[in-house]
Structure 1
Amino acid sequence: MASSPLRQCSLVRGRAFALLAVAALAVVTAPRRIGGAAAPAARTNDPNWHVFRVSSLLPSPACTASKATSNSSALSVVHQHGPCSPLHARRGGAPSHVEILERDQARVNSIHRKVAAAGASVVDPARASKGVSLPAQRGISLGTGNYIVSVGLGTPAKQYSVVFDTGSDLSWVQCTPCSDCYQQNDPLFDPAQSSTYAAVPCGAQECQELDSGTCSSNKCRYEVAYGDQSQTDGNLVRDTLTLSASAKLPGFVFGCGDSNTGLFGQADGLFGLGREKVSLASQGAPNYGPGFTYCLPSSSSGNGYLSLGDAAPANAQFTAMVTNSDNPSFYYLNLVGIKVGGREIRVPTTVFSTAGGTVIDSGTVITRLPPRAYAALRSAFARYMGQYKKAPALSILDTCYDFTGHATAQIPKVALLFEGGATMSLDFTGVLYVSQVSQACLAFASNGDDTSIAILGNTQQKTFAVAYDVANQRIGFGANGCR
């Protein structure tokens, strides 16, 4: 029997209501979309997202170090302010995050000044004819987010904890007798206690190659003034450097500082890994091969490693090591793009090359980008983070979030793209700088102007085996090099 018009109308209205209910349920249960990208509802298996426990954002109060490599020349790398550091117990309190970031900005400013001054400088023909190339007196600001290694000096070897720095060349430790030395963790290096110690005479090639080399009682004197007004003065000397029981460098040339002031913390000195002849990397090349590899741990409670020679991992992706004749100490590469959540931000490649490339630096904490690139990165990242409460800015970091109340959190992956196709997909610890759970910030900052050189900082380098292949003039990044 045919339905009445009234019954047909009721059936249509019922079906419509059911369809509306299903549609409403779909809206409620479907992942929200933020700026065209799905907000994280269940991203565990999504290759474009990091999912992590919020508790893992903060370092453990105890050292969780483990052996990272078996290379004979390998040194253990630890954060100087973390619980694995030999300076930890006596340092008198670590600097605050604001202090770290302010001093990091001072280091960046000094790198920019050094690059700008070198580009504008005129080479002295008299010095050039002598082959003088080491700008030892023009060091950069030390900052406070540096990593340290422990090395042996002298015979018998005694251990010293020193900052390692790819932005410096000359290595040095404080020595006795000392006219003006800051407080350090270990006893001063005592030349009289080493049977293999020798002063470098004024006529030696190593002294002639120092811009700051001067003569006093036939001893070569050096001077390094850093960008934060820290300074070390002393004698250029030789002695045996011990990296491990089976790895030694006899006749290692370094500075024996007898007048040292500034922001060195309680580290016993500094070892330079720059490109000049006097650096640790260059002096180690005859024994271990040119270049070096290091891996910075994901947390200040972990450890990584530093190895001399060719120790690049099999999974490393390489990009060209760019030569910059104005600044021969620094290592340069070409950053050409950035991906957020699997999508490349819309910035012309020329934005990254305007200032002459990118410096990769072990001592800078936060990566600095040209303003246009940073603005695009910040905007893209923020579009994915709408489910989290915004937090106040932290010093130079202006894009921060509050993860309070979340057991887990998820953020879009950030990948750095380099010339030649190398991709550096950052660990989540390389994307965020965390002062506390309620203030986790995007770990990038703007250079302030497009003419200042970009800098790849150590936060972004965490967990990568970063290989400096000097022989082939390239830099590689091997994922999961350490944790």
Structure 2
Amino acid sequence: MKSIQARLSMNPSSTDVFKEMQTKIPASRTPNGAGYVATVGLGTPKKDFTLLFDTGSDLTWTQCQPCSKACFPQKEEKFDPTKSSSYKNVSCSSKLCNLIGKETAQGCSSSNTCLYGVQYGSGYTIGFLATETLTIGSSDEFENFLFGCGEKNVGRFNGTTGLLGLGRSPIAFPSQTTSKYKNIFSYCLPASQSSTGYLSFGGEVSQATKFTRISPKVQQFYALNIVGISVGGRKLPINVSISQTVIDSGTTITFLPSTTYSALASAFREMMANYTPTKGSSSIQPCYDFSNLGNGSFRIPSISVFFEGGVEVDIHSSGILIPLNGLKEMCLAFADTGSDSDFAIFGNFQQKTYEVVYDVAKEMVGFAPGGC
């Protein structure tokens, strides 16, 4: 959330579909459930790498040799540029070096190679900017794909090998592959760790997809406008219009402005009066202890988020509560941004089971229920 804050009514016909062929790859949750990963190919000959896919980031990068003392642990072998015939460093005089922008640029190496650096809320990556052949699925190859070869990487990346940047800038994956995928991609995040979702590029849009426009207020992110929230079928008694709501596959829970969050938490507490509350944490409230229920079931109130253009996202039951201490303590999966500014983040926990469609060219994001 901090990294996004620092960088800081439209509904097309359901018959408006895309004729390009769709490429779909499996997507699954990380071991701690905080993010989602997909596997792509890199290099010649191709080697597979498991990357976190992130709509809140632009640069695609992976850990590269040599970095034995400055890399986080990963299961797969690190990418070795000396073993790929298609790898090329980007020189500082290249136009590609200028594409990464002031926030990402880190100057030049002694060999005149363009250096990059990206700071995240949970870590950072520093390395060489390079081009390489990227493969999606079994056969979609993109030569001279701009990416980061990270040799100093720190953070909680949960055993993955790096990140697939699905943001809006020219260096992001959708922009670099627009000749084939037409700047269209979608994903469905599975409800449980044992289930598999997908990440897809191009293709047709489901007739069940309802679109809302991307707000022009936040140029560097996919920002939507929340116009209402309901709990247990009752609309919150506040005027809601949060036009800088960043939809982010890389942030776990949803962050709301203080007044909106307070109203949501209060309504939720009222409807959960029959369950035992716990202290929780300073950042996530309210929380409940369900351990005394044994194998019995419990009911939680529904939550729906309404976006501009008549788009209602009925949050899946798995996206309402998040475990704090194992499965004993469960907390409302929403948090306070700490201010009443017109800013929020719609996290991946609340996007689960929907097919979320990004039509970057038309500046719209759509939701279709029952995607996976």
Per the shorter chain, which TM-score range? 0.7 to 0.9
Match of 1:170 among 47, 59, 69: 59
SS at match of 1:481: coil
1:399 maps onto 2:293 in alignment:
no
In 2, Cα distance between equivalents of 1:266 and 1:347: 42
Q: 1:300-337, CA deviations, whole angstroms, 9 ceiling, x for partnerless residues?
A: 2222111123553221111111123xx53311000010
1:312 maps onto 2:205 in alignment:
yes
Match of 1:375 in 2: 262
Match of 1:458 in 2: 348
What is the CA-CA distance between 1:180 and the residue it aligns to?
4.3
User: Are the counterparts in 1 of residues 22 and 202 from structure 2 also a CA contact under 8 Å?
Assistant: no
- Kindly tell me: are residues 311 and 439 of structure 1, through their superposed partners in 2, closer, same or farther at Cα, counting changes over 3 Å? farther
User: Are the counterparts in 2 of residues 207 and 236 from structure 1 also a CA contact under 8 Å?
Assistant: yes
In 1, Cα distance between equivalents of 2:30 and 2:323: 17
Q: 1:412-469, CA deviations, whole angstroms, 9 ceiling, x for partnerless residues?
A: 2211011111000111111111345542222112222202621111110111111111
Alignment of 1:342-353 (within 5 A): 342-349=233-240, 352-353=241-242
What is the CA-CA distance between 1:340 and the residue it aligns to?
1.6
1:338 maps onto 2:229 in alignment:
yes
In 2, Cα distance between equivalents of 1:233 and 1:374: 36
Match of 1:117 in 2: none
What is the CA-CA distance between 1:382 and the residue it aligns to?
2.4
The RMSD of aligned alpha carbons is 2.1
In 2, Cα distance between equivalents of 1:427 and 1:232: 33
SS at match of 2:175: helix
Match of 2:367 in 1: 477
Query: How many correspondences in the alignment?
Result: 344
- The code of the aligned residue for 2:50 comes to S
Alignment of 1:439-454 (within 5 A): 439-451=329-341, 453-454=343-344
1:185 maps onto 2:75 in alignment:
yes
Match of 1:88 in 2: none
Match of 1:248 among 124, 141, 146: 141
Q: 1:240-289, CA deviations, whole angstroms, 9 ceiling, x for partnerless residues?
A: 11111122222211011223233334321111111001111211211111
In 1, Cα distance between equivalents of 2:327 and 2:113: 54
Match of 2:29 among 79, 85, 92: 79
User: Are the counterparts in 1 of residues 44 and 85 from structure 2 also a CA contact under 8 Å?
Assistant: yes
Higher strand share: 2
What is the CA-CA distance between 1:394 and the residue it aligns to?
4.3
In 2, Cα distance between equivalents of 1:388 and 1:177: 53
Higher helix share: 1
- Kindly tell me: are residues 285 and 194 of structure 1, through their superposed partners in 2, closer, same or farther at Cα, counting changes over 3 Å? same
Match of 1:386 among 273, 276, 280: 273
SS at match of 2:305: strand
SS at match of 1:234: strand
Q: Unpaired segments of 5 or more residues in structure 2? A: 1-20
Say which is worse superposed, 193-202 or 415-424, in terms of deviation. Answer: 193-202
Q: 1:126-152, CA deviations, whole angstroms, 9 ceiling, x for partnerless residues?
A: xxxxxxxxxxxxxxxxxx812111111
In 1, Cα distance between equivalents of 2:26 and 2:199: 6
**TM-score scaled by length of structure 2:** 0.86
Q: 1:84-113, CA deviations, whole angstroms, 9 ceiling, x for partnerless residues?
A: xxxxxxxxxx5xxxxxxxxxxxxxxxxxxx
- The code of the aligned residue for 1:321 comes to I
User: Are the counterparts in 2 of residues 345 and 377 from structure 1 also a CA contact under 8 Å?
Assistant: yes
What is the CA-CA distance between 1:397 and the residue it aligns to?
2.1
Match of 1:223 in 2: 117
Match of 2:162 in 1: 269
Match of 2:250 among 352, 360, 363: 363
Match of 1:408 among 277, 297, 302: 297
What is the CA-CA distance between 1:165 and the residue it aligns to?
1.2
In 1, Cα distance between equivalents of 2:67 and 2:271: 56
User: Are the counterparts in 2 of residues 289 and 310 from structure 1 also a CA contact under 8 Å?
Assistant: no
- The code of the aligned residue for 2:25 comes to L
In 2, Cα distance between equivalents of 1:179 and 1:411: 47
- The code of the aligned residue for 1:292 comes to F
- The code of the aligned residue for 2:301 comes to P
What is the CA-CA distance between 1:362 and the residue it aligns to?
1.1
- Kindly tell me: are residues 179 and 220 of structure 1, through their superposed partners in 2, closer, same or farther at Cα, counting changes over 3 Å? farther
- The code of the aligned residue for 1:346 comes to P
- The code of the aligned residue for 2:271 comes to Y
User: Are the counterparts in 2 of residues 394 and 441 from structure 1 also a CA contact under 8 Å?
Assistant: no
Alignment of 1:27-66 (within 5 A): none
Say which is worse superposed, 173-182 or 458-467, in terms of deviation. Answer: 173-182
Q: 1:16-65, CA deviations, whole angstroms, 9 ceiling, x for partnerless residues?
A: xxxxxxxxxxxxxxxxxxxxxxxxxxxxxxxxxxxxxxxxxxxxxxxxxx
Match of 1:286 in 2: 179
In 2, Cα distance between equivalents of 1:261 and 1:437: 28
**TM-score scaled by length of structure 1:** 0.67
In 1, Cα distance between equivalents of 2:185 and 2:300: 32
- The code of the aligned residue for 1:181 comes to A
- The code of the aligned residue for 2:228 comes to G
What is the CA-CA distance between 1:176 and the residue it aligns to?
2.0
- Kindly tell me: are residues 334 and 265 of structure 1, through their superposed partners in 2, closer, same or farther at Cα, counting changes over 3 Å? same
Match of 1:257 in 2: 150
- The code of the aligned residue for 2:130 comes to V
SS at match of 2:280: coil
In 1, Cα distance between equivalents of 2:264 and 2:249: 22
User: Are the counterparts in 1 of residues 244 and 342 from structure 2 also a CA contact under 8 Å?
Assistant: no
